[in-house]
């Protein structure tokens, strides 16, 4: 079969990369009777979503290896910490996703070809929050 006749349609390429870290937190803004106002922990899963209209050689939106600084940040600054003690915002999944998008945009985005679209934070296997970065 000759695959050279298969047309390559125009469009956008999107990739995602997952990272994990362990951390505790509490949400002091909640009433004392709410279970999340008490100290507890999660095995967080964070996914960054990147997009590009064209690919860098050899055919990447962004080389996954170029995302190592984000993993190092999670490992050194958030892993096994109390998030309410280290973050400048109350550590809900929504605000954590927004904070991580801001950190990524400031520290990783300038060094890579792909553009950050979203950050997804998963606290458990059944709950997540996603922050979508507005286009630039």
Domain ranges of the chain: 11-62+100-136
103-132 tens-digit pLDDT: 999 999 999 999 999 999 999 999 999 999
- Measure the CA–CA gap between 60 and 26, rounded to whole angstroms: 39
Output the CA–CA distances (angstroms, integers) from residue 52 to 1, 69, 86, 98, in the order listed.
30, 20, 33, 21
> Would you give the end-to-end CA distance of the chain in angstroms?
42
Percent of the chain with pLDDT over 90: 88
Q: Would the pLDDT of 136 be above 60?
A: no
- Measure the CA–CA gap between 91 and 18, rounded to whole angstroms: 19
Q: Would the pLDDT of 49 be above 80?
A: yes
Catalytic residues: 36, 80, 123
Q: Would the pLDDT of 1 be above 90?
A: no
- How many C-alpha atoms does 127 have within 13 Å on its Cβ side? 8
Classify domain 11-62+100-136 by CATH number: 3.30.479.10
């Amino acid at each position: 079969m000759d695959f050279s006749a298969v047309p390559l349609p125009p469009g956008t390429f999107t990739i995602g990369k997952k990272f994990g870290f362990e951390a505790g937190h509490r949400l002091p803004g909640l009433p004392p009777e709410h279970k999340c106002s008490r100290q507890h922990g999660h095995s967080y899963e964070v996914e960054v979503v990147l997009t590009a209209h064209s690919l860098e050689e050899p055919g990447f939106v962004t080389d996954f290896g170029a995302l190592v600084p984000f993993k190092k940040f999670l490992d050194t600054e958030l892993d096994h910490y109390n998030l309410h003690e280290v973050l400048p915002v109350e550590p809900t999944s929504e605000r954590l996703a927004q904070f991580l998008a801001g950190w990524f945009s400031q520290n990783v985005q300038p060094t890579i070809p792909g553009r950050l679209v979203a950050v997804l934070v998963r606290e458990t296997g059944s709950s997540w929050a996603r922050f979508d970065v507005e286009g630039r």
